[in-house]
Amino acid sequence: MKAVIISIGDEVLIGQVTNTNAAFLGRELFSLGIPAARTVTVADNEKDILKEFRNAYRDFEVILVTGGLGPTHDDITKKCVVKFFKTEYRLDDKVLKHVKSIFARRRVPMPLINISQALVPDNSIVLENIAGTAPGILIDKGGKIFCVMPGVPGEMKYISKNGLFPYLKKKYAGKLKNVIRQKTLHTIGIGESLLASRIGDISKLVNKGKDYELKLAFLPSNYEVRLRITAIAKSPAKAAALINGAEKIIRKSAGKYIYGDDERSIEATLGTMLKKRRLTISAAESCTGGLILSKLTDIPGSSDYLMDGIVSYADKAKVRLLGVNPRDIKKYGAVSKTVAIQMAKGIRKRSGTNIGISATGIAGPGGARKNKPVGLVWIGYSDKKVTFAKDFIFTKDRLRNKDAMAKMALEVVRRQLLSIEQ
């Protein structure tokens, strides 16, 4: 059984919007045992959309469509669905009530045009969308599942998780030939090739038997590498056993670098650790410009452990706000081990937290000095027992550097809490 993902929208074709919807749906469909054999991007053009609908309905059992469900003139997907299935519209009172409630909560009058979002194909099942105004539309006909969802990622994900995927699981329960399971291990602070060298012989991680297949993929990003383990087997138990066996092998050789699994971020992992240990943290930032604090506050409940922070971008701010010795800045430079240590110690004492973290570096593209290249950062750490600083060198790209520097600062704290060698 195969699926196709159709993304509709000029904004996707011209690169104005990154197509994260297809990536999400592809990943989730694979885990359900209904892999996507094709992804297609189509312009907001009725002729092109109908052509892709015909091709998809001919070749695939599951057709997922995103985009073009808004109330404006350029949103024509629903119109194309009605035309393709030769059906009519019906007004869904529940959807209309929901749309009205959204505008009422915002305290703004609802434009009449939004009534159109409660019009759905007569032969469809409505999938609730509490994250927005356009519902999902599912048509189960002729042994095919045809589902249309909004292009807004948050709305598409809500409809998928709460409507589409449960429907697919129930529909195809016991009918799929193989069970597919995946697990992703997240590593940080080591490159793809070095990670592969550490793991060594992967014959036990990539192999195929009579009734199973085990795969391992290296997925590098900005100073992180995701290790995606995939198991295909006849039963959930067999697939789980393959995943667990592979994970044990990887953790034995590269466990130091693994901070989490599946979709868990380094900030979420560290936040859980701090909360569990009832520790507080503060940050003093220079080159990262508040990004460490931003990442920490991305996690709900971070007020339990994050107290405050200071962006001391200028040297004078480091001296005035954190107590950095101006003579040390002059002697060693702002980007130095000495200054990073003083920043970490200064923010910890000023904030009264258990841990202080700091970052001072050269984000680029300019600013390099002798023995201090673009991408260099000193990350400082301080608690009541130990204070130290560690240097890293990243890329020549400013935004990539800021992201990597902020993530590595959090990783330094994680390793320290776990007594892992830095």
Domain boundary among 171, 196, 220: 171
> CATH code at 370?
3.90.950.20
> CATH code at 237?
3.30.70.2860
**Do the Cβ atoms of 342 and 271 come closer than 8 Å?**
no
| Residue 310 maps to a domain | yes
- Residue 157 burial class via C-beta count within 10 angstroms: exposed 0-12, middle 13-18, buried 19 and up: middle
User: Is the domain of 37 the same as that of 164?
Assistant: yes
Cα–Cα distance for residue pair 1/249, rounded to 1 Å = 32
Pairing mode, strands 125-127 and 212-220? unpaired
- 3-class SS string, 328-393: HHHHHCCCCHHHHHHHHHHHHHHHCCCEEEEEEECCCCCCCECCECCCEEEEEEECCCCEEEEEEE
What contacts 18, CB < 8 A, 6 or more positions away? none
104: its two tokens: 């009422």
| Residue 49 maps to a domain | yes
Cα Rg of the chain, angstroms: 26
User: Is the domain of 143 the same as that of 165?
Assistant: yes
pLDDT of residue 95: 93
| Residue 68 maps to a domain | yes
User: Is the domain of 51 the same as that of 101?
Assistant: yes
- What does residue 262 show for φ and ψ, rounded to 5 degrees? 55, -125
pLDDT of residue 305: 98
pLDDT of residue 266: 96
Cα–Cα distance for residue pair 326/320, rounded to 1 Å = 10
| Residue 154 maps to a domain | yes
- Residue 280 burial class via C-beta count within 10 angstroms: exposed 0-12, middle 13-18, buried 19 and up: middle
224 DSSP 8-state letter: E
pLDDT of residue 273: 97
Pairing mode, strands 125-127 and 136-141? antiparallel
Per-residue CA distances from 417 to 269, 282, 322 (Å) = 12, 15, 24
CA nearest to 360, candidates 384, 329, 321, 400: 329
pLDDT in tens, 235-244: 889 999 999 9
In this structure, which amino acid lies at residue 104?
A
Orientation angle between helical segments 266-277 and 398-417, nearest 10 degrees: 30
User: Is the domain of 163 the same as that of 194?
Assistant: no
384: its two tokens: 């009541």
Orientation angle between helical segments 192-199 and 236-254, nearest 10 degrees: 100
User: Is the domain of 26 the same as that of 90?
Assistant: yes
Pairing mode, strands 258-261 and 179-188? antiparallel
pLDDT over 70, % of the chain: 100
User: Is the domain of 145 the same as that of 62?
Assistant: yes
pLDDT of residue 252: 94
Domain that holds residue 46: 3-171
pLDDT in tens, 360-380: 999 999 999 889 999 999 999
Element (H, E) at 53: helix 46-59
User: Is the domain of 146 the same as that of 75?
Assistant: yes
pLDDT of residue 174: 75
pLDDT of residue 49: 97
61 DSSP 8-state letter: S
Res. 33 pLDDT band, cuts 50 70 90? confident
| Residue 422 maps to a domain | no
- What does residue 359 show for φ and ψ, rounded to 5 degrees? -145, 125
User: Is the domain of 308 the same as that of 366?
Assistant: yes
pLDDT of residue 181: 87
Element (H, E) at 262: none
What contacts 174, CB < 8 A, 6 or more positions away? none
| Residue 345 maps to a domain | yes
pLDDT of residue 180: 86
> CATH code at 62?
3.40.980.10
What is the average pLDDT value for the chain, to the nearest integer?
94
Domain boundary among 209, 230, 261: 261
How many domains is the chain partitioned into structurally?
3
**Do the Cβ atoms of 337 and 345 come closer than 8 Å?**
no
Residue 300: other Cβ atoms inside 10 A: 9
User: Is the domain of 360 the same as that of 412?
Assistant: yes
Mean pLDDT of 263-290: 96
Residue 175 has pLDDT above 90, yes or no: no
Domain boundary among 117, 150, 171: 171
User: Is the domain of 40 the same as that of 87?
Assistant: yes
User: Is the domain of 164 the same as that of 222?
Assistant: no
108: its two tokens: 């703004």
| Residue 224 maps to a domain | yes
Preceding peptide of 71 cis, ω within 30°? no
User: Is the domain of 42 the same as that of 115?
Assistant: yes
pLDDT in tens, 315-371: 999 999 999 999 999 999 999 999 999 999 999 999 999 999 999 999 999 999 889
| Residue 127 maps to a domain | yes
223 DSSP 8-state letter: S
